[in-house]
Chain A
Amino acid sequence: MPAPGLILIPAYNEAQSLPGVLCRVRTAAQQLGLDVLVVDDGSRDATASLARAAGVKCVSHVYNEGYAVALQTGMKFALCYGYRFVAILDADGQHDPGEIAGLLEVQRREEADVVVGSRYLTGAGYRATAARRLGMLLFSRLSSWLTGLHITDSTSGFKVLSERAMAMLALESLGDFHSEALLFFSMSGLKIVEAPITVAERKAGRSMYSVAGSLYYPFKTLLLLLVVGLKTRLWRRQELRA
């Protein structure tokens, strides 16, 4: 009998941190009866072979397509193999796989389509640079204002998605899957809740945000928010006409 859910780990050049992450993820997966999938996003190191050697499922992009596309590939995989929910973790070891159970419990209790693991819900410290903290705060406030929900951490990569959310994400790859994705889900009528998580410091590898990427991020996200708003309104109009 196939597992009901999938732990999805998008990874790009994470050979250093992946073995340790997979060791912890496999323990959590066994306890919860879940499968594990690593989406190797065209890594130039041994990310894919390490994932396969660790005995987890692994799909590999030929080229580096970016985080959102890697997530979308994971959603397509999950839908293709009949998984009912997906828990997304970063491959850098910052997320604690032991907290997946808590997020799944919140999803079940709240009947939510999207559970966002928030670093700021309990006030427990996550240390980031002042500029980054300011960016996170601004986009969380913006997401709250746009969705009408209380969102404390719109840039979290630790999420649980229902089958409905997976199907939507399989159709649309959205930026970095942050504020724009929350707006997209919210405008599409999906239920979003937050659950507290703890985040450790990155031990190896490089963040997907370079200095140039961090400067580009706010402009890209603002434009994406506008596009998502326009697109969702267009879909609604088309649905009404149909």
Chain B
Amino acid sequence: MGSKVLKGACVFVAEASNDQKGKYRWIASLYIPKLPIQVELMRRPNLAGLPIVIASESDFGGGGHVAYTCQEGEAAGLRGGMPLREVFALCRHAVVLPPDFDAYEKAYDLILNALEKAAPAVEAASLGRAFIDITGMERLYPRMQTLLEALLAAVSRASSGLVGRVGAAPNKFVSDVAAQTAADGACVIVPARRAADFLAPLSWEYLPISEEMKQRLYLLGLKTMGEIGTISPIALEAQFGSEGRRAWKLARGLDDEPVVARKPFRPIAESLSFPSPINDWAAFWAGVRELLTRLWRRKERREATVRQLQLVARMEEQMWERTLTLHEPVGDRERLEDILSRRLQGTVLPGAVSSLTVKLTLLGGAYVGQESLFVSSAQRWKRIKEAVASIKARSGSTGLYRIAEVEPWSRIPERRYALISFDP
């Protein structure tokens, strides 16, 4: 049976027939394209139609990068990751905004909460992306399309008008691709038997593979997932290791990763009352460190990483509050202290603080120190660079050296090689 495509709100690769209902797993994927841009446009509707850029850092002078840009920006040649100094050279009318990760996370959180009310298991993938296990739910609705439209409506209501796309398929990967290929506010449904056909003409850019593998696939002249699916999985595994095998399976529409639902979380808080109100930053910071130490000992935290925390300081007549969302989950207390000291630098307390509370408002997965044996060299190199940057930030130098040839031809042994400071 050929694929049936309907123009309008919902696109079907093929409609799930009644006999298929209940037979297969059904996973829906929500994709909110450029969520931060949409959030900024909701706050500042007058910017609609302008090339908007959201910077990677609040301080533009620090040589930040483009974190997100809208369609108008992309049309002007702006891309994510581009240095900010190049933005105005390419697009004179670009509007550069500082990032407000707290607001983006909040909008995303509202969406996840709304989805959790509608479906039993919702997995938060990344900002603007979520997987929803809707297996069995299709029986509650006359058609799959109605169910997906209900999810989109719930998202729109919760976020006061953010536009999303939904894909439904028997597994996470296919549903994610389906959502990405859908039009704004529309959905794409891909039944199990059509998954490979659906993916075949699409670019392998959708595959979650390393840059190194992408580069090699490009050099091999491969263009679509269909071409990857026709290669022997043994050959792919021989070339790319486990990543090659996984890419082959995904390209054929096979993915058995389960939807891992968010766990309900109650913020963990610790408070401290000062014997006499303090106005001194050093004493305030000592209080924050003490509370972090106490929070780290709390059993509820277990081995989880911190993604967001809140500082609340009570003064005589007012309250000072600051919510900090971390760019990446942090599992090490000393590192968290470093980040906090940087983020709170220059903060002026509005009065003498009588009590202080630190709340861990969002936790991530467990902190895993063990590295995989099979990470790609690009990933490994990225981690090394991050670790070196962290060491440099703490101690002022990397403390690393590399061996360089100075006079390798010299007859005098100590003249041949030297150690020079290494800063990747």
Asked if A and B are interacting partners, one says: no
Interface residues of A (CB under 8 A from B): none
Interface residues of B (CB under 8 A from A): none
